[in-house]
Structures are given as C-alpha cells and as structure tokens.
C-alpha cells in the first residue's frame, strides 16, 4: 500500500512538473521560428579585359558586270571567297550581388555588366582585292548563378550591338565595274548555360558568349569538362562548336574548342583561355583576365 501511494505521488509530481519544464523551451522554439532569418548580402565590382584574334572565310556572290560594244553587256553572279583575319580587344565591368539566407544551403548571385569590344578585320577577297574594316560593339549582359549544396547552375543572356562582323551577300549590278557587298552584322544575341557538380563535372552550352563573345564570327558551342575537385584552381572544358560563316564551300562546319580557367581560391583575380582546333577554315584564340574589387557585406533579417 505504501509503495502504490508513493508511486502515484511520483507520477502526480512528474505530471505537474513536466508541462512547466517544457513550457519555456517550447516558447523559445516558437519564438525562434517566428523570427525572420538573417540574409547575408555581398556586393562588389569586377573588372575584366582581354584579347581575341583569329581567321575565318566565307563565300559571297560577286556580280561581275561588263560592257562589250560588239557583244553587248551582261552580268553573271559567281561565288567569291572572302578571308578574314582579325585582332581585337575587350574591356568590361560587372556589378555582382550575392545573397545567402542563414541556415539555407543556397546562394544566389546576380551579375549585370557591360563589355566594349573593338577589332581590326583584314579582308582578302578572292580576286586579289584587300580591305581593312573596323569592328566596334557593346555587350550588355545579365546572369543568374545559383549554388545549392554541391550543385551550381548559371544562366546568362546578352546582346552584342554595333558592328559585330561582316558577311557577304549578293552584289549589285553596275556597268563597267566589279562589285562585292559585305553586309554589316549589327546585333547578335548571346546565351550561355553552365552546370557544375562539386567542381568535378562541368557542362556548358551557348551561342556567341565564348571566346571573348565571338566578335567577328559568333558561334554555337557545347562542351564538357572537369574542375579537378573543389580545392583545385584549374578547370578544363573541351567541346564542339559551329559557326555559320566559316567555309567557302559549305555554309556550316564543326570544329573543336578548349577552354582553360584559372581561378585560385581566395584570390581576387582569374584568367580564362579559349582556343579552337580541327578546322583549317576557322581559328580563334582568346585570353581574358578579371579582377574583383573589394566588396561590401551586410546582413539583415527578412
């Protein structure tokens, strides 16, 4: 009887004490869940510049007009090869805004920038004529970078506007003259999608946004590669690419490309080298370097 009554008193005491002991932690947890999470924001500027050069060829219709007092006049269109050799420079700046919510594994980075590109394009036309034309274009662009756990995805879009390149089309009729028309390309959209898993597996696809934006002859590209692990400062991507204007005999042709990125962790600079191979009609090499200025960090609850 004594044991039973003592046990009942113990249970009654526990029943009374337990809600009181749990009330404070539960109230604290509820208050913490209602508090807004802290959002860490970092803003900075990145400066970059580089060089690009190469060669390609395309065909055009050259209308050769003539006048013969004994046989009359006439015109006949014929294909003419136009070879390009170009060298250019690029300067640009990006505003970078990164946000991360405390307790969440996702970091979102927004990038808005403007590049200015200029090049000298030296043309050699199939019948021996030569000309040097200037290329000058601006490239406003925008990209979103999302990193969650070990996955990183980046999507970027932009627009090359100005004198981007020169391609040939039909020539006009002119008595006693041989004419060629090389039309100016004024706008080229750019697009790039990159995916990365733990800096081991990399994938990219796009148009006009590689090799210093494809000035003079934008191209499609698709590549895969590796970053050799999360602690490696080096990344290598190889793939295939295709430009619409690169071969005298064919409208399109594919070739290989390689891109090497050097970005040491904790350093404000990085370098990017791009080169093509496998095509006698299209060659390009590009080098771009970037420097990140000291940024500004802030935090707020939202």
pLDDT per residue over 23-68, tens digit each?
A: 555 555 555 455 566 888 999 999 999 999 998 887 765 444 444 4
Asked if 97 contacts 110 with a C-beta cutoff of 8 angstroms, the reply is yes
How far is the C-alpha of 101 from the C-alpha of 68, rounded, in Å? 80
3-class SS at 144?
A: strand
pLDDT range class, residue 220, cuts 50, 70, 90: confident
Q: Which residues contact 160 (CB under 8 A, 6 or more apart)?
A: 117, 137, 138, 139, 187, 188, 189, 190, 208, 213, 214, 215, 218
Check residue 30 and give its pLDDT. Answer: 54
> Where are the chain's structural domains?
1-35, 38-301
Check residue 3 and give its pLDDT. Answer: 44
Average pLDDT over residues 78-100: 88
Give me the sign of the Cα torsion angle 286, 230, 298, 100.
positive
Between 247 and 172, the higher pLDDT residue: 247
How far is the C-alpha of 111 from the C-alpha of 108, rounded, in Å? 10
What is the residue-averaged pLDDT of the chain? Answer: 78
Asked if 57 contacts 248 with a C-beta cutoff of 8 angstroms, the reply is yes
Between 161 and 33, the higher pLDDT residue: 161
pLDDT at 244 over 80: no
Least confident of 14-28, 160-174, 258-272: 14-28
Percent of the residues in the chain that have a pLDDT greater than 70, as a whole number: 70
Distant-in-sequence contacts of 11-15, Cβ < 8 A, 24+ apart:
none
Check residue 152 and give its pLDDT. Answer: 93
How far is the C-alpha of 59 from the C-alpha of 63, rounded, in Å? 13
pLDDT range class, residue 258, cuts 50, 70, 90: very high
pTM, rounded to two decimals: 0.75
Asked if 157 contacts 139 with a C-beta cutoff of 8 angstroms, the reply is no
Q: Which residues contact 91 (CB under 8 A, 6 or more apart)?
A: 48, 49, 115, 116
pLDDT range class, residue 185, cuts 50, 70, 90: confident
Check residue 167 and give its pLDDT. Answer: 61
Check residue 123 and give its pLDDT. Answer: 87
Check residue 79 and give its pLDDT. Answer: 63
Distances (CA, A) of 76 to 175, 221, 251: 12, 37, 21
Asked if 68 contacts 110 with a C-beta cutoff of 8 angstroms, the reply is no
Check residue 188 and give its pLDDT. Answer: 86
**Exposure on the CB side of residue 12, measured as CA atoms within 13 A:** 6
Q: 301 forms bridges with which residues in the sheet?
A: 38
CA torsion 98→104→38→45, rounded to 10°? -10
How far is the C-alpha of 83 from the C-alpha of 166, rounded, in Å? 11
Asked if 79 contacts 248 with a C-beta cutoff of 8 angstroms, the reply is yes
pLDDT range class, residue 246, cuts 50, 70, 90: low
Helix (H) / strand (E) containing 140: strand 130-148
């Amino acid at each position: 009887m004594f044991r039973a009554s003592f046990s009942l008193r113990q249970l009654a005491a526990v029943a009374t004490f337990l809600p009181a002991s749990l009330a404070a932690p539960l109230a604290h947890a509820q208050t913490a869940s209602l508090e807004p999470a802290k959002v860490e924001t970092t803003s900075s500027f990145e400066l970059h510049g580089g060089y690009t050069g190469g060669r390609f060829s395309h065909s055009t219709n050259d209308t050769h007009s003539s006048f013969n007092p004994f046989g009359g006049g006439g015109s006949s269109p014929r294909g003419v090869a136009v070879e390009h050799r170009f060298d250019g420079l690029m300067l640009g700046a990006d505003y970078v805004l990164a946000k991360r919510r405390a307790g969440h594994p996702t970091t979102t980075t927004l990038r808005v920038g403007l590049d200015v590109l200029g090049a000298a394009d030296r043309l050699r036309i199939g019948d021996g004529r030569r000309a040097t034309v200037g290329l000058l274009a601006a490239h406003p662009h925008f990209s979103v970078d999302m990193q969650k756990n070990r996955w990183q995805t980046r999507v970027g879009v932009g627009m090359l506007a100005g004198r981007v390149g020169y391609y040939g089309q039909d020539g006009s009729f002119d008595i006693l003259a041989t004419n060629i028309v090389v039309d100016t390309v004024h706008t080229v959209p750019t697009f790039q999608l990159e995916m990365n898993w733990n800096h081991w597996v990399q994938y990219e696809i796009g148009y006009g946004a590689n090799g210093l934006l494809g000035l003079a002859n934008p191209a499609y590209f698709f590549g895969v590669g590796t970053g050799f692990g999360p602690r490696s400062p080096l990344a290598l991507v190889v793939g295939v690419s295709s430009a619409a204007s690169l071969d005298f005999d064919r409208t399109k042709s594919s070739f290989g490309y390689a891109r090497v990125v050097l970005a040491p962790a904790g350093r404000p600079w990085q370098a990017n080298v791009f080169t093509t191979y496998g095509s006698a009609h299209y060659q390009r090499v590009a080098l771009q370097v970037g420097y990140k200025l000291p940024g500004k960090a802030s935090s707020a609850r939202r």
